[in-house]
Structure 1
Amino acid sequence: MGFNKTLSRILTIAGFYTALTACSANQPTVEPDLPEKEYFRLAQEALDNNLPTTAAEQLKELETRYPFGEYSVPARLDLIYAQFEAGNFAAAHATADRFIKNYPDNHAIDYAYYMRGLSTYKGAETFLARYLDLNPAERDTTEFDKAFSEFADFLRRYPNSEFAPDAKTRMVYLRNMIAEHEVSIAHYYFKRKAPMSALRRGQEVVQSYPSTPAVEEALAVTIQAYMDLGLYDEAKQNLSVLANSFPNSEYLTKDKKFIPFKLPREADPDTLYWVSLGLIE
């Protein structure tokens, strides 16, 4: 009886491996349909004809069929560009990231770092344009922060790259936009009667983005928030900073009194309801 059980178990295992082998034998193998050079030529032709999706398909075929071929490295670089031009920014970012990890000493590595940041930047820009009707507090700038960090990493490594000037320009834009976003959220919090939250946003801009155009309005945000909170000494201090830094600010009257957000710019400061502050009359 024991011998029969053992024999049955052996036959079962043997049958399993026979079936597994048969399945493996039936799986299609990837055979080169075209020479490697032809895949690369077709991809270049597609790029020249402004067909980036077609180019990306040819380059991925080349990568799959000739992973260690003569054209594998330039094909991966071109794939980053093709995916980016096709609007597939997530794929372009992933391809650039793989290239950075696999070819850290390649002569075009600076391009891969640059395209990684640019892909994040364009992807975030596209997303934001799609949801412009959201409340400011609901818009997410995480990807813009990520793009800024990736451009900064690129510039730290390759400050003399031919792509460095463009990266610097985009970083300035990103800083300005993130600062403006913080100010817009502050105004949203004023409407929600949450001056403390508005204050934090204004302070973030003043402290973290002092060179951006939004810092003038951010200072006005902090003054307004301090006044709403009844912290008049702090409001006066920030008013002094605003008046010294931006003497012609639209948030100041000619005699350097603060014009609150709650009143129109042409309102007579004598009519304002914070009459005892000395900030406005």
Structure 2
Amino acid sequence: MGFNRSLLRFAGIASFSLLLAACSSKQVQEPDLPEHAYYEKAQQAFAENLPATAVKNLQDLDSRYPFGEFSTRAELDLIYAQYESGDYISAHSTAERFIKNHPDHDAIDYAYYMRALSTYTGSESLLQRYLDSDPSKTDSQELQKAFREMGDFLQRYPNSKYAPDGKARMIFLRNTIARHELQVARYYLKRKAPLSALRRGQAVIDHYPTSTSVEEALAITIQSYNDLNLTDLAQLNLSVLKNNYPNSPHLNKEGNFIPLPLPSDANPSFWYWVSFGLSD
């Protein structure tokens, strides 16, 4: 019994300590300036092209006046300030928080747009931003996420003033992702893994049918089916290629398919032989 009483006393003390910690973590910081002063300082930082300074002032406003007159406007401005300062992860997080907390706000379309734009811009590597390299040569997961988020924005708010820019970015993303899929498909063809190449080529045709990569995707599927000795399916895709791209460089004068060239170093890997060409 004494042990149980001690255990209960310890549990009570621990619960009280946790309660105190929780209360203290939610305490609002004492304001050093009036609410409008923080907001005006943030706007001045924007005017002087100092987004990082604007971030600090807006965060100070939010921590000191979380339910104040300027709090909602400050949240929206904070998304932009974080984006302009290059902190795309924080901008994305702030946009998502605004969407959750203010689903009926007049500027909710802006929050959805900035959420997608933050992912879009953040997916670009330093080389892509400063050396103008091809983003289709990098991992496409973040680009696909940006594509989904921008599509979500356009589906919800097709008449938003940000919609034209969103549509233009979706076209770029669609073509970039499709090029990336084809680059991976070509790699698999080089490694003599036609099933993997086929999946990538088919993904472009199925998911990005209006991209600029469909013609080459058809060529990859034809090559892959031929390599898999599935000649009927190869001929079916060849007919699609002929009907839609009669002047394709993948067709000779007689309309026959020109096999895709493979580099001389395209040696199969160990896993190719182990899996009978199903994996690489």
1:172 & 1:134 partners in 2: Cα distance? 14
**TM-score, normalization by structure 2:** 0.79
Instruction: Output the CA distance in 1 between the equivalents of 2:262 and 2:252.
Output: 13
Q: CA RMSD in A?
A: 3.0
1:47 aligns with 2:46: yes
Equivalent in the alignment of 1:204: 203
Gap regions ≥5 residues in structure 2: 264-280
Hey, what's the Cα distance between the residues in 2 that align with 1:178 and 1:92?
Answer: 23
TM-score where L is the length of structure 1: 0.79
Residue 29 of structure 2 aligns with which residue?
30
2:236 is equivalent to residue 237 of structure 1: yes
Q: Within 1, Cα distance between the matches of 2:142 and 2:32? A: 40
How far did 1:233 drift? 2.1
Where do 1:49-128 residues align within 5 Å? 49-126=48-125
Post-superposition shift, 1:105? 1.5
Deviation at 1:263, TM superposition (A): 6.7
* Cα pair distance change 1:146/1:263, threshold 3 Å: closer
Question: 1-side partners of 2:81 and 2:180: how far apart?
Answer: 32
Separation in structure 2 between the aligned mates of residue 86 and residue 63 of structure 1, nearest angstrom? 18
**Paired position in structure 2 for 1:161:** 160
1:261 matched to 2:260? The reply is: yes
CA displacement at 1:134 relative to structure 2: 11
Give 1:29 deviation, angstroms.
7.5
Cα distance in 1 between the residues matched to 2:233 and 2:147 = 32
Q: For 1:169-248, what aligned pairs fall within 5 Å after superposition?
A: 169-248=168-247
Contact 2:28 2:65 in 1 (8 A): no
Change (3 A) 1:134 1:94: closer
The letter for the 2-side match of 1:232 is: T
Letter in 1 for 2:37: E
Q: Give the corresponding residue for 1:268.
A: none
Q: How many residues align?
A: 245
Question: What amino acid is the match of 2:59?
Answer: K
Amino acid at match of 1:76: E
In the alignment, the residues of structure 2 paired with residue 197 and residue 102 of structure 1 have an alpha-carbon distance, to the nearest angstrom, of: 43
Q: CA deviation at 1:255?
A: 2.0
- Deviation of 1:30 after TM superposition, in Å, equals 2.4
In structure 1, C-alpha distance between the alignment counterparts of 2:136 and 2:176, rounded to whole Å? 16
Change (3 A) 1:236 1:78: same
Identity of counterpart residues, as a percentage? 58
Structure 1 position 91, deviation (Å): 0.2
Pairwise CA distance, 1:133: 10
Secondary structure of 1:160's counterpart equals coil
Which 5+ residue runs of structure 1 have no aligned equivalent? 265-281
How many Å apart are 1:150 and its aligned residue? Answer: 1.4
Distance 2:136 2:155 in 1: 35
How far apart, CA to CA, are the structure 2 residues paired with 1:48 and 1:254?
62
Q: What's the secondary structure of 1:211's corresponding residue? A: coil
Distance change >3 Å, CA 157–CA 134, structure 1 → 2:
closer
- Greater than 2 Å deviation, 4+ residue runs: 125-130, 132-136
2:248 corresponds to 1:249 = yes
Q: Which residue of structure 2 lines up, in the alignment, with residue 270 of structure 1? A: none
Task: Check 1:85–1:99 CA distance in 2 against 1; reply closer, same or farther (3 A cut).
Answer: same
Distance 2:112 2:37 in 1: 28
Which is bigger in relative contact order (C-alpha 8 A, separation at least 6)?
2
Kept in 1: contact 2:198–2:220 (CA 8 A)? yes
SS of residue matched to 1:168 = helix
